[in-house]
């Protein structure tokens, strides 16, 4: 019998947010209007949202032996995430340099730093814990060989895998076939379908991507809402919000989706929770705006 907890295995970053009117053109220098700081990383963000909602969640990853690592661990502790399996390594913590435009849209450049040390050996050392989880949640900001190993071993122990392949990277179908829930945006979906489709075309071909995974596909389209695709395609509308900063909105959606599954909601109901939480998240700066209860 599995224990009642979720393991998130992924990245922890410390992010620098530069507010700008627009992104610079090639060769152009620009002044930022504002500079803010926040802990981030897709893995840590998703764990943070689960912890704030009260889920029993463990964060597994690496930070550096620097003050940014201290801040990343403390932030997760504040959200009631279990951080006992986060390792300190002798390098810098992962860093993110994020441009935030007037409409809340973001783009980022990342330095992986300590995230590169989330190794297969580290997973083996935590094997009994990880593969006794109810769910294991993965992204793609840690080494690919580690991700493949986790997916392969999870299937042996009937552990459900939720994969958010961001940033999208090559992953053979034999691994996708072992994933229970795949959560992608339009760019990531096009990557795995091998085509640069329009949103309308993506919806037509969404079932092709759904067939590559075990249980279901979640396609997120930002302000156009999201879809849960299984035998049927179900539209989940956005919850209207005044967007201030979209950083972490997708991670909030994923964290709340897993929270829903863990607590017996259907996948569609879990997507609806995700839509509600991401709407609350965009209304203020940083991941601290992620909700502790869903309105």
Tell me the per-residue pLDDT of 53-70, one tens digit each, with 9 for 90 and over.
999 999 999 999 999 999
**Euclidean distance between CA atoms 151 and 169, whole angstroms:** 15
Annotated binding-site residues for ATP read 185, 220-225, 250-251
User: Domain 6-21+34-288 has what CATH class?
Assistant: alpha beta
3-class state of residue 39 by DSSP: strand
pLDDT band at 130 (very low <50, low <70, confident <90, very high): very high
How far, CA to CA in Å, does 164 sit from each of 21, 85, 152, 176? 29, 21, 16, 11
pLDDT band at 50 (very low <50, low <70, confident <90, very high): very high
What pLDDT is stored for residue 148 in this prediction? 98
From 34, 199, 208, 251, the catalytic residue: 251
Annotated binding-site residues for K(+) read 245, 247, 281, 284, 286
Catalytic annotation present for 230: no
What pLDDT is stored for residue 256 in this prediction? 97
What pLDDT is stored for residue 295 in this prediction? 67
pLDDT band at 2 (very low <50, low <70, confident <90, very high): low
Annotated binding-site residues for substrate read 13-15, 41-45, 141, 251
Q: In this model, does residue 110 exceed pLDDT 60?
A: yes
What pLDDT is stored for residue 120 in this prediction? 98
The number of residues making up the chain comes to 295
């Amino acid at each position: 019998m599995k224990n009642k907890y979720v393991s998130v295995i992924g990245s922890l970053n410390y992010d620098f947010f530069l507010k700008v009117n627009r992104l610079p053109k090639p060769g152009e220098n620009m002044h930022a209007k504002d500079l803010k700081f926040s802990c981030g990383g897709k893995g840590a963000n998703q764990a943070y949202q689960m912890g704030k909602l009260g889920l029993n969640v463990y964060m597994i990853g690496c930070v550096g032996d620097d003050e940014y690592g201290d801040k990343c661990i403390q932030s997760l502790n504040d959200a009631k995430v279990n951080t006992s399996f986060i390792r300190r390594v002798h390098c810098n913590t992962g860093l993110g340099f994020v441009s935030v435009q007037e409409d809340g849209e973001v783009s980022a450049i990342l330095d992986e730093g300590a995230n590169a040390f989330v190794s297969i050996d580290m997973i083996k050392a935590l094997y009994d814990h990880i593969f006794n989880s109810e769910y294991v949640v993965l992204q793609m900001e840690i080494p690919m060989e580690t991700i493949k190993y986790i997916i392969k071993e999870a299937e042996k122990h009937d552990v459900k895998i939720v994969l958010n392949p961001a940033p999208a990277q090559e992953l053979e179908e034999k691994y996708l076939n072992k994933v229970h829930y795949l959560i992608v945006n339009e760019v990531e979906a096009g990557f795995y379908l091998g085509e640069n489709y329009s949103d309308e075309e993506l919806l037509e071909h969404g079932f092709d991507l759904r067939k590559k995974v075990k249980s279901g596909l979640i396609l997120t389209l930002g302000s156009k809402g999201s879809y849960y695709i299984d035998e049927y395609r179900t539209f989940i509308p956005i919850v209207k919000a005044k967007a201030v900063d979209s950083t972490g909105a997708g991670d909030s959606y994923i964290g709340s989706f897993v929270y829903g599954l863990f607590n017996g909601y259907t996948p569609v109901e879990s997507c609806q929770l995700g839509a509600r939480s991401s709407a609350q998240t965009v209304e203020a700066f940083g991941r601290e705006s992620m909700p502790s209860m869903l309105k």
